[in-house]
Structure 1
Amino acid sequence: MLRVVQKPQRLCQLGRLVRMPALQTAVLGNAKAVPAGSQRPAIPLQARAAIVRAFGTSAHLEAPQRHSAVVSSDTKSQVTVAYPDGKSTSFHGIWLRDHCRCPQCFHPITKQRLSDTGEFPLDIKPQSIEIVGDKDLRIVWPSTQHESVFSLEWLRQHSYWPNIGTARPAIREKILWNAETANTFPRVSYESIMAGDQGLAEWLRNIDVYGIGFVEGVPPNAEDTETLAKRIGIIRETHYGGFWDFTSDLSHGDTAYTTIGLPAHTDTTYFTDPIGLQTFHLLAHEGTGGESIYVDSFYAAKLLKEQHPEHYETLSTVPVRTHCAGDEDELHFSTPSHRPIFGLDPITDELIQVRFNEPDRSILNHIPGDKVYKFYEALAVWRSILTHPESEFKIALRPGTVVAVDNWRVLHGRTAFTGYRRLVGCYHGWDELQSRIRVVLDKSQLKETV
């Protein structure tokens, strides 16, 4: 229910007080127009709706009254929503018009925009605004008389100026690990994954939380391993093929196809979008050595940041080029060709990706002279953390055990070996992996965040 009153409002503009024309104010109560100059009725204490105020970006309003709505006549509008807990946030008029979720502006099934943002005036402001049913904000826009309705909770969840919401993608907290704690990794049975989404969810949760997921009881053959991998999603084709089956025969120009040891690394650092998940299944080994090595690079990066923040900064900012040039008909560089080892989220500065493969590192002829020593020093300290016995989790894989590795986080390698060693596996794209995690673990709740 709304009661509309006219109230003069003072604003501070460019350092001086000015008196604005009467502004339209909406408050909870019975819908009733009150002439300008009339005494403003008391607002009931039990009112639960949020305060909403709209005002010009070139002016600053005084502290808001609880449970009120104000729309100014200034050229550029903002709408401020203040909630009963005392928190408030503002939205630009153009942002609100752009984010209209009515069926004419946003397809309810495909979740795609239907409106043309370029048609909206940059300084668009609401023609009218009101709180409906204590839970929605209804805006009527000028000229077209288009109506937008936003739930007050939705606005809070997607607030930005400032952000006062709690709605973010339901990302599970990452659990960092080292060689000692890795022995406690949870494991999932092949049968449970193939039986339904509950087992698949357990596997995906382990991958998402630990960066690595073990599956036990897998039939020791390529066909069933591929079927298991496809439970996650589409297998990503690369120049190595789709589902690969290889030994140390140098069928590709890569040290993975030899018997020599491989230091812990991530794959496809030379791709613009490195693969997201790598799945391994050791089907046979008739010889010695060949232990698998896994390192939680996020754990190692955390140690580096805490103990040597200057080196963390260097590896987050100095770009490095990597390549794939072993096959006669292949030559890969990413675009752009140089990327830092640590990839940080541009909004939060959180570490989201590690690209590290020393054998694939290209010529360093682009680093300024005054940063060369800094880079090599940071690289040496970083490698010392990765190769420390406390960081390296070594395990001798056996037929029947499948391991899936988050290639943006967990480094993998192996010790040198002798004899015949057969490994099968495949890649999944990062985006496909993350989509599967969201759909299986978070169901449809994240649809509201798009």
Structure 2
Amino acid sequence: MSVSARHFRIGLTTKYTRLAVGSRGLPNAVRPLALNRQPVPIRRYSSIPPENETTSAQEKQISSDTFSESAKKTSTTPAAETSATDERKSPSAEPVNKTSSTEANGNTLGDGDGTACINGKENLTATTNEASTTDSETADRKTNAEFDSIPKNAARRFVSVRLGPLGSNVTRYGEFGPFFLRENCQCPLCLHPETKQRSVDTFSIHPAVNAKDIIYGPNVVEVLFSDEHKGLYPYSWLNSHVNLTTERKTFSAPFKFREFSSYNPDQDSYPEVEYSKVMSDDAALLAWLDEIYKWGFCFVKGVPVDPESTKALLERIAFIRHTHYGGFWDFTSDLTFKDTAYTTEFLGAHTDNTYFTDPARLQLFHLLSHTDGHGGASLLVDGFKAASIMRQENPKHCGVLAATKQPYHSSGNEDVCIQPAEQAPVFKIHPELSRLYQVRWNNYDRAAKRNWGLKEQNRWYNAARHFNNIIQRPGVEIWTQLQPGTALIFDNWRMLHGRSEFTGKRRMCGGYINNDDFISRYRLLKYGREKVIDNLGNLAYFKGNPNLLL
């Protein structure tokens, strides 16, 4: 049975009852692979057009020889001189109608010339047309075969694209996977111009899609794909997404810290900003966030002594996070919530929200009043500084606190029993940057760990005792007495906080801000929207990479 051709526009979700196949065995209209399929011929494309082929109007001024010369510059083998996809063999003129079982196991769609369809076992291979079985299990296997239809030799078939306009000083080329390049097309059909979200249905793209032609404009590269879609890629996007290696190597990077500065308790003044400036000027707001990120905390002077003004100060950064304590707090030590923080007792250095899967990033306190009593000094301890001291004194203890996960909970109120989705270590290390970026320490909220051996217990308790000793040293403790009109904000992923015992009645207000909201605001103010978007997903270590703000 022959299959009629249909017009196809990639990115549309229209489904057809038949799969119409064009050149290279690629669909002109996409739908899930059917169970019974006629064999179709496959032929390869070169990414560089032959010299006798007519060029498009856009590239008339660029001869095919120029394209060939561009390809030669990045070629390491003679076989790569005529193709940006680094294909090793020339296509056969005649399709293969049958393949032996040995060949069938080795050839997937696009691996060789031939006629390809679902064979009902493992992958796309050349075969004769056979009636499909009605057995449900066999049908499932045939349907699942499409998941493995990306060519096995994909690692050898990158698309080589010049990273600067022709005639410019940029002569370097980058390698991109053809499917990756196709699904990340930057044209308005594939990427929504307002939301910046992907509009193309990734899984409607044929798994063996490839590049047929490349046109270099002054600002944008146009790639014509084998499904006839014209992909658009600004040079800035190509440079920030160039494939640096074909295979990620696993290695144990040295233990490092994200960028930070430690405050010396002997200094005469704290990091501080003025309320009026922060509320009226984005440059002052950025300076405030810089102080918080650099030092881990900052004081805000001149805050009107009322909850409304304090709430507005928090919302100058981002939305206030709601928890089981509510949104914006306005509280006294009345044990409304069954938590040690709502008492008058001494509070040792700790981080908040250890029992949340995602602890709040920023926390702000503003003392509105303290009557008929004294005490209640605020304590801050830099967790990064304490970890740095521990690494110098006993690196193995650092490793234990980074590797051993502990359970936490909040269960004081009858209607609340909160635990994180997974247990968490005291030191959280970024898995790709190998940098400490979060400290989770709260001896009040730590639950009893189950099913751990005696040696593991001893290692952890020894390391935890060491850390506890460090955070109580005078050289790392920062003590201050809060006053009405001065708000304190700090990084809850870095700074431990506490309080001395007090008498009398205190009224405090404040709130939390999420990590993602804080970092988003900070990155955009510091680097600008364009640079942040251009570096989405980029974890390369270079100065000015917005994603290094952890």
| Fold conserved between structures, TM > 0.5 | yes
Quick one: distance in 2 between partners of 1:227 and 1:21? Answer: 60
User: Which piece of structure 1 moves more, 221-230 or 68-77?
Assistant: 68-77
Match of 1:142 among 201, 223, 226: 226
Is 1:309 the counterpart of 2:395? The answer is yes
Is 1:154 the counterpart of 2:185? The answer is no
Quick one: distance in 2 between partners of 1:419 and 1:51? Answer: 81
Quick one: distance in 2 between partners of 1:199 and 1:52? Answer: 49
One-letter code aligned to 1:31: I
CA deviations over 1:292-328 (Å, ceiling 9, x no partner): 1111212222222333221111111111011111112
Match of 1:228 among 293, 302, 313: 313
Quick one: distance in 2 between partners of 1:303 and 1:98? Answer: 47
2:534 maps to 448
CA deviations over 1:66-120 (Å, ceiling 9, x no partner): xx97344464320235666786542211111121111110001101000111122
1:32 maps to 63
1:132 maps to 217
SS for the counterpart of 2:417 is: coil
1:409 maps to 494
Q: Could you tell me which runs of 5 or more consecutive residues in structure 1 were left unpaired when the two chains were aligned.
A: 1-19, 35-39, 44-48, 55-59, 164-172
Q: Label 1:23 to 1:293 Cα distance change in 2 as closer, same or farther (>3 A).
A: closer
CA deviations over 1:138-183 (Å, ceiling 9, x no partner): 211003x1011223332122234249xxxxxxxxx73221443765
Q: Give the number of aligned pairs.
A: 402
The Cα of 1:378 is off from its aligned counterpart by: 0.9
Matches within 5 A, 1:249-398: 249-286=334-371, 287-336=373-422, 338-398=423-483
Quick one: distance in 2 between partners of 1:344 and 1:306? Answer: 17
CA deviations over 1:189-231 (Å, ceiling 9, x no partner): 1111222323322222222222212110111222221222222
Superposition TM-score, scaled by structure 2 size: 0.66
Provide the aligned C-alpha RMSD in A.
3.2
Match of 2:84 among 70, 95, 99: 70
More strand by share: 1
Matches within 5 A, 1:15-164: 24=48, 31-33=62-64, 61=77, 70-73=84-87, 75=110, 76=154, 77-81=157-161, 89-133=174-218, 135-143=219-227, 145-162=228-245
Superposition TM-score, scaled by structure 1 size: 0.80
One-letter code aligned to 2:276: E
Structure 1 vs Structure 2: percent identity of aligned residues? Answer: 34
Which protein, 1 or 2, shows the higher relative CO under an 8 Å CA cutoff with sep ≥ 6?
1
Contact 1:234 1:432 in 2 (8 A): yes
Contact 2:71 2:80 in 1 (8 A): no
Quick one: distance in 1 between partners of 2:67 and 2:189? Answer: 38
Match of 1:191 among 276, 279, 284: 276
One-letter code aligned to 2:237: W
One-letter code aligned to 1:390: G
User: Which piece of structure 1 moves more, 413-422 or 393-402?
Assistant: 413-422
Q: Label 1:185 to 1:42 Cα distance change in 2 as closer, same or farther (>3 A).
A: same
Quick one: distance in 2 between partners of 1:297 and 1:232? Answer: 23
The Cα of 1:413 is off from its aligned counterpart by: 0.8
Quick one: distance in 2 between partners of 1:400 and 1:160? Answer: 52
One-letter code aligned to 2:320: I
Contact 2:47 2:213 in 1 (8 A): no
User: Which piece of structure 1 moves more, 68-77 or 180-189?
Assistant: 68-77
SS for the counterpart of 2:84 is: strand
Quick one: distance in 1 between partners of 2:287 and 2:317? Answer: 12
One-letter code aligned to 1:121: H
Q: Label 1:182 to 1:95 Cα distance change in 2 as closer, same or farther (>3 A).
A: farther
Contact 1:176 1:298 in 2 (8 A): no
SS for the counterpart of 2:497 is: strand
SS for the counterpart of 1:439 is: helix
SS for the counterpart of 2:335 is: coil
Matches within 5 A, 1:7-18: none
Quick one: distance in 1 between partners of 2:387 and 2:50? Answer: 52
The Cα of 1:398 is off from its aligned counterpart by: 1.0
SS for the counterpart of 2:211 is: coil
Quick one: distance in 2 between partners of 1:302 and 1:86? Answer: 44
Contact 2:46 2:84 in 1 (8 A): no
Q: Label 1:186 to 1:26 Cα distance change in 2 as closer, same or farther (>3 A).
A: farther
The Cα of 1:344 is off from its aligned counterpart by: 1.8
Quick one: distance in 1 between partners of 2:68 and 2:47? Answer: 18
Contact 2:84 2:161 in 1 (8 A): no
